[in-house]
Amino acid sequence: MKKVAITGLGAITPLGNSVEEFWQNIIAGKSGAGPITKFDASKFKTQFACEVKSFSPEDYLERKEIKKYDLFTQYAIAATDEAIQDAGLDFGTMTQEQRFDVGVIWASGNGGIGTFEEQLDEFHKGDGTPRFNPFFIPKMIVDIAAGVISIRNGLHGPNYATVSACASSNTALIAAYDAIRLGRANIMIAGGSEAAITPASIGGFNASQALSKRNDDPQGASRPFDANRDGFVAGEGAGALILEEWEHAVSRGAKIYAELTGGGMAADAYHLTATPADGIGALLGMQKALNDAGLTPDKIDYINTHATSTPLGDISELVAVKTLFGNHTPAISATKSMTGHLLGAAGAIESIISVLAIQNNIIPPTINTQNIDSAIPSGLNIITQQAVKTKVNYVLNNTFGFGGHTASTIFKKV
């Protein structure tokens, strides 16, 4: 099958609205958490999140366009614009036939949930007469970001959305990877975006006991693997990657960050929201990714874990890691300790971190983790507090979602 190169990156995150700013804050071990500003959260059990800061849609869109697009689509546009520029692509100079072979697979777990809430609120404030914004449906549906990206750039290749909760954007990357390997496209834009810091989202996650309630210490709340963790911190933003058929990238002299060399998907087949103690879905997803890449576990240098800071999830993932890797001890870190959990966009921004770890030979830290939970298997190489400079040739990136979805990707140094 054809090889797949990563030639462009773009990011809108709680730690910066460019890849460079984001990466510098990640390796510095900064937290993106703070009090919620998007709505009055004073009566909510959780009153903080990892919000995107200083985002101006006017930097990317005309005023009339802003009205048409939910924030999750605005984030998607901003991140993909950066990734396209970073890859040195100018679709305007391509022929239509060339653009037949450029596609978009974009993920989100919640799509336009903010738009959905606003429109229903307006409806219930009225007299019951259904007066909805004509853009309500296209602003809300999950696939619209993929459609808008293709429309803005005139791209006619494969175009759709993937939804597998918090595994969504890793699933999108694997689908884009397969499209190129199977000869269905030469270039794919893949990633995910989320704008779900809303009353319904925060309230719903509170009701399911998923969120941290550490309101007195937002920046210390996301603490994967720590004995005193009490849930995840909600995040928002977008991550975009340009995937390109290897020879196509080489022929145009593209900068190649890394090779996407393996992808694996599986299911826990266990519970709506909980993970099984043996981490069977995580284990299978990682093993399938290794098989796809033609690798043995000892080749992996770093695992960017899903590790959301939930009591059960962190343990089951590391049980699976211990089962699969045995005495081999790749470096492990949980960057959600800094970004919060970007839900459907998590896999994309963590793939960017994985690629940059390879590029820079740096393992990002897990911040806030002070006392490793005794239930976590011993003998693991968990990187805490500070980034570590070391050779990084292969990175495994894990993402898991409500419903038991698991997706793992592997990146390789070039």
Is 166 a residue of the active site? Answer: yes
Task: Kindly state the tokens that stand for 238.
Answer: 């977008």
Q: Do the Cβ atoms of 52 and 237 come closer than 8 Å?
A: yes
The position carrying tokens 């968990």 is 382
The position carrying tokens 């790749």 is 330
Task: Kindly state the tokens that stand for 367.
Answer: 């911040």
Q: How far is CA 284 from the centre of its chain?
A: 20
Residue of 6, 78, 102, 166 marked active site: 166
Q: Do the Cβ atoms of 392 and 383 come closer than 8 Å?
A: no
Q: Could you tell me the CA-to-CA distances from 137 to 22, 62, 111, 122, 127 in Å, in that order?
A: 32, 20, 11, 15, 21
SS3 361: coil
How far apart are the C-alpha atoms of 26 and 10, rounded to whole Å?
A: 15
Burial readout 231-245 (b: 16 or more C-beta within 10 A, e: otherwise): bbbbbbbbbbbbbbb
SS3 333: strand
Helices (H) and strands (E) in the chain, counts: 14, 15
**Residues known to be catalytic:** 166
